[in-house]
Copies of this chain bind each other. A is one copy, B any other.
Amino acid sequence: MGEFDLIQRFFKSQSQSHVSADAVPVGIGDDCAVINPTPGMQWLVSSDMLVEGRHFLSTVAPQRLGHKALAVNLSDLAACGAKPRAFTLALSLQRADEVFLAGFAQGLFELAQRHGIALVGGDTTQGPLNICITVMGEVPRGQALLRSGAQVGDDLYVSGATLGDARLALEVFRGTVPLAGEAFEQVRRAMECPQPRVELGQALRGVARSAIDVSDGLLGDLGHILKASGVGACVDVDALPRSPVLAMQDLSLQRECGLAGGDDYELVFSAPSDAAGRAAVAAAAAASGTPVQRIGCIEAEPGLRLRDGAGCLLPNLFSSFDHFK
């Protein structure tokens, strides 16, 4: 199977069957794709690169890897409140393994179709396994959710009900936590099949004042909001949502997974704390079918403070993931 056959067979055939021809008049197969941006909208772009051993383990099923590679990118669009439009896929493979490619494409396109995003181009090459996806989406002018909009007094929220499960799964793979059966399958699914909060992100336009997705750990990613907004925050550690499986672990492990876990792809966001603000967040959560949890507030004092449910200040022992530290 050659490069062009591979693209045709596994990628081109499904690339844009789920979007209108006028949206993407030229897709895979020319030097560039041609896309019609929606008039009056701004164009949002993000790229993520996934490397074996760093972003996924060699044990992951190809279908889940295809899902996750797109999911982590859709999560960036979600964090900005964007509607997904198109993506490119660049893939470096040691060899053209048909079983791998068929599974990878299946996971990728199931998620792409669910969110109405077209594959419009990319590249395939021979080399160490590497997956680079660039996603593009749209928001009405001036309505992108940014890291820089948090205001003192805002409530802080996180989406989802399983924050920290992905990290717990990683600890099982590392051998530091024993977990088996359905409990392991649940946390493994959180790690390998994250669900990007695309609907919630769009529902939060005009509701949230700042947002980011949790890829490197809640505290580290929240830190980006605080820095960009020039504010501080207090987080109620005991308010973090956690799955029944995580809730059965030691309290210190629960906190480490929830606060510094990473790979969650939930949204952390701030919104006005008045009654109208809280009602708007609740409505966005309901409209998108996504649970959200209030976990703290934005404060004027710089830095990040952790409190437990009793209001006692806790030391912050956690650092965010950094690829070169």
Contacts and interface: CB of A to CB of B under 8 A. Distances in A.
Interface of A: 1-4, 6, 25-26, 29-37, 39, 41-49, 51-55, 76-77, 79-80, 82, 86, 88-92, 95-96, 120-128, 130, 132, 134, 136-137, 139, 141, 144, 146-148, 211-213, 228, 322-325
A3 B43 contact: no
Contacts of A325: 2-3
A89 B2 CA distance: 27
Given A29-B147, A32-B46, 11 more contacts: A30-B80, A30-B146, A31-B76, A31-B213, A32-B77, A37-B42, A47-B88, A47-B90, A51-B128, A55-B125, A130-B132
Contacts of A147: 29-31
Contacts of A30: 80, 144, 146-148, 228
Given A31-B76, A127-B54, A134-B134, A121 B45 contact: yes
B123 A47 contact: yes
A126 B92 CA distance: 15
A49 B3 contact: no
Contacts of A55: 125
Contacts of A91: 49
Contact of A130 (B3, B42, B95, B130): B130
Contacts of A130: 49, 51, 92, 127-128, 130, 132
B79 A31 contact: yes
A47 B211 CA distance: 28
Contacts of A39: 39
A203 to B, nearest CB: 16
Nearest to A40: B39
8 contacts: A3-B324, A25-B42, A34-B144, A46-B88, A47-B89, A48-B123, A49-B125, A92-B130
Contacts of A322: 2-4
A80 B128 CA distance: 30
Query: Which of A96, A134, A136: most chain B CB closer than 10 A?
Result: A134
Contacts of A2: 322, 324-325
A121 B47 contact: yes
B125 A323 contact: yes
Contacts of A121: 45-47
B213 A49 contact: no
Contacts of A32: 44-46, 76-77, 79-80, 82, 137, 144
A126 to B, nearest CB: 5
**6 residue pairs, one from A and one from B, having the closest CB atoms:** A51-B127, A132-B132, A49-B90, A134-B134, A31-B79, A47-B88
B31 A42 contact: no
Nearest to A41: B37
Nearest to A25: B42
A39 B41 CA distance: 10
